[in-house]
Amino acid sequence: MHPDIFLLSLLLAFLPAVLSGKPARPVGDGHEVGVHASDRPRTYIVHVQKPEHLMSAIPEVIEQWHKSFLPSPTLHSGEPRMVASYKVVMSGFAALLTAEEARDMESKEGFLHARPSQRLMPQTTHSPEFLGLRPDVWRDANRGEGAIIAVIDTGIDPDHDSFAGNPMPDRPAEWEGSCYFNNQPTCNDKLIGAAEFLESDHRVYPPYDEDGHGTHVAATIAGLEVDGASIRDLAAGTAAGAAPGAYLAVYKGDSEWGVLWSIEQAIDDGAHIISMSLGWDALVGPDQPPFYANAMAIGSLAAVRHGILVSCAACNEGPRPSSVCNDAPWIMTVGASTMDRALRLNLRLRNGYEIPGESLYSKPGLRGRLAYPGLSGDGNARFCTHLGAYNVRGKVVMCYPGRIETKQIADVVKKAGGVAVVLLSSKMVGSIIVDVPDTAFPTVSVNYPNSLKLIKYVNQSTTRCRAPRVELVPVGTVMGVTPAPAVPYFSSRGPSLVNGGILKPDIIGPGVNVLAAKTNSTSDFVLMSGTSMATPHLSGIAAIIKLHQLRQTGMEWTPAMIRSAIMTTAQTTNSDGDGITDETGKTADLFATGAGHVNPAGAMDPGLVYDIRFEDYVEYLCGLGYTDKQILRTASISVDCDQFGSIEPEQVNYPSIAVTLSDDVRRKVIKRTVTNVRSEPTSYTVEVFLPTHSGVTVSVFPRTLNFDTTGETKSFDVTFSALSCTPGEPGDTVQGYLKWVSAAQSREVTSPLLVTFA
């Protein structure tokens, strides 16, 4: 008999005794009348330490051991308690428990921690051209063909033209998954995998997308080229994902336990890249959980350990500082930027002056008196939630969004007799229009400076007893809008509160008014904005780089190498040649841009890369001061940090370099190691760029790096020194760049430099 089967039989024989160690009490299933909310079972994520004799056990044995922690196999309703038994992403399981039952497990041998699973929230025709993907990068990288990209989101609409592949009788050689839309090894030669695991009946189902977010994301990553794509005849062109030749595998997961299940499936199924445009409120702000209590971080580290790059949204909580999420150093954290396209509609005032806005409305000749009920100071009128007390019949009504959806605002104005809506922007939103309203009723968005102009126009016209007339003048799709790229207000900012000072986000990419597939339609497209839209661009680009390097050099690049190539070749200036700006119109700092805006062509051939091993991440966790049990929860590995070793966060071999100086610590030496990925001998010389009178000096040794062979590594030291006893006020920063320059090859390998004073 196989030893695992014997172990399973033995465990099953003793399982009733194990479970009866404490009497099981009937527990309601959450739907019973009279059950207090705190007593209702909910899904908990439970971390456990695997005993030595189970280290190599088969999954069935591990699952039975996990079940031994439960008070009973089922709820009072008969529903099984076990939701998911994890084998790869973490050591533990998800189960339906009450708070008291979770506490009762603490006395069981092997128990580490239990916490409720949190709900996760989801956070184009032109973007391939704007990024320089079409045609050169696609041609050189074969459009990402052969790459398998796992998308963990709200599901997918498999019937959209963006995913209309041909039947595929044979699965790709590396693919071990299945398509639950047709119960075949693949859905077609575009969508090769699709699954959703439901806790209600513990079965896998087709991941249909009722929300639309996942369909949009999947199409942005690897949607096929679809001619004639547009929205209301605007933004017309050929729609395509960043890697239109890549395969897609879609997993539906909107909870922490579901994300862990999806990551485990993606690893087992053979994915090359994982893309997650997800987050939840607790991931940002002062209550942000440490990595050992963060399912996104835990699952991502397991994927990276298996050689899979994980690309995640930085969240949409900007522009406030320290709002960035998904900020573990093993994750590629993606912020959002604008493109150079506008769907222009101008508002022509009485004097002929035109104020630009953006809209999908395209019929000329609409005129009316401009009205702003919010001048009265009435909050309901300001947000147009109720307009019963105001005469807006025949008028173009100005409203602030925020309290109700844009379509609801349009309905309120329409019912009150208005003829159009002008959506105003707050100071926080700033100069970038991030919401082009998709409503049947004429609606136009204007930015903050122009909102002030319109309010002033209405106010002055009323004072002078002159009607503030306005005409809607559709212009259509405008290309070459400047400055671009720019960082929109919603894109979350660093610094991270939990990663020890490593600069996040890593990179920014197109995430404003991105056109991609619309759910519940075979051919329609929709505009969406968010770091959720930026992330799939980077996921597709990462897949292209991975497969390109494998084909060109035979090298299997690690996730850190791919991210390094993207970061060190990033663009730090806009279309005007100036620094990338933010929603205020001022130069954006590194906490907004990270390394800069993605440059796919440069990332295909970075010259040098910064690599990081899984063991380095474990040493980093030791450097954060995590206990051995906390590291076990994070990395599913038992270590003694005293013996394993530790490194400070700033010493992680990251492509960006961030340090903290203070009155007590005025000098730091940081070590970095680069790997040559070019085939010919190359010499690099260092250049450092810092603001004048920054109060900090940066020196590098050696100043020249010479490489003869591919894969050769060289190390260098970067010394940061404060020039005075009090180099800066606490929280002040100095920001610059370090570049390794190869004049012979016209190549620059750039790292952001960040000095924070404590």
Give the residue numbers annotated as catalytic, written as ranges: 153, 213, 532
Q: What's the CA gap between 368 and 388, in Å, rounded?
A: 19
Give yes or no for a cis peptide into 122 (omega within 30° of 0). Answer: no
Give yes or no for a cis peptide into 3 (omega within 30° of 0). Answer: no
SS3 456: helix
Ramachandran assignment for 285, one of left (phi > 0), alpha (psi -120 to 50 degrees), beta (any other): left
Q: What's the CA gap between 366 and 481, in Å, rounded?
A: 25
* Cβ within 8 Å of residue 52, ≥6 positions away: none
Q: What's the CA gap between 483 and 579, in Å, rounded?
A: 10
- Residue 640: Cβ within 10 Å count: 10
Q: What's the CA gap between 83 and 325, in Å, rounded?
A: 26
Closest CA to 555 of 672, 684, 676, 654: 676
For strands 191-198 and 247-252, give the pairing. parallel
Within 484-532, strands assigned E span 507-510, 514-517, 525-528
Q: What's the CA gap between 4 and 586, in Å, rounded?
A: 63
Partners of 123 in the beta sheet? none
* Contact between residue 437 and residue 420 where contact means Cβ atoms under 8 Å apart: no
SS (H, E, C) 167-231: CCCCCCCCCCCCECCCCECCCCCCEEEEEEEECCCCEEECCECCCCHHHHHHHHHHCCCEEEEEE
Identity of the amino acid at 292? Y
Angle, in degrees to the nearest 10, between helices 3-19 and 59-67? 10
* Cβ within 8 Å of residue 327, ≥6 positions away: 314, 333, 494, 496, 498, 499, 502, 504, 505
- Residue 392: Cβ within 10 Å count: 22
* Contact between residue 296 and residue 335 where contact means Cβ atoms under 8 Å apart: no
Q: What's the CA gap between 56 and 4, in Å, rounded?
A: 9
Q: What's the CA gap between 348 and 440, in Å, rounded?
A: 21
In whole angstroms, how far apart are CA 704 and each of 152, 672, 716? 43, 14, 9
In whole angstroms, how far apart are CA 240 and each of 128, 161, 274? 7, 11, 19
Closest CA to 217 of 251, 193, 186, 192: 251
- The stretches of 628-728 forming alpha helices (DSSP H) are 628-635, 641-644
Closest CA to 434 of 443, 425, 442: 425
Closest CA to 200 of 25, 24, 30: 30
Number of H helices, E strands in the chain: 18, 34
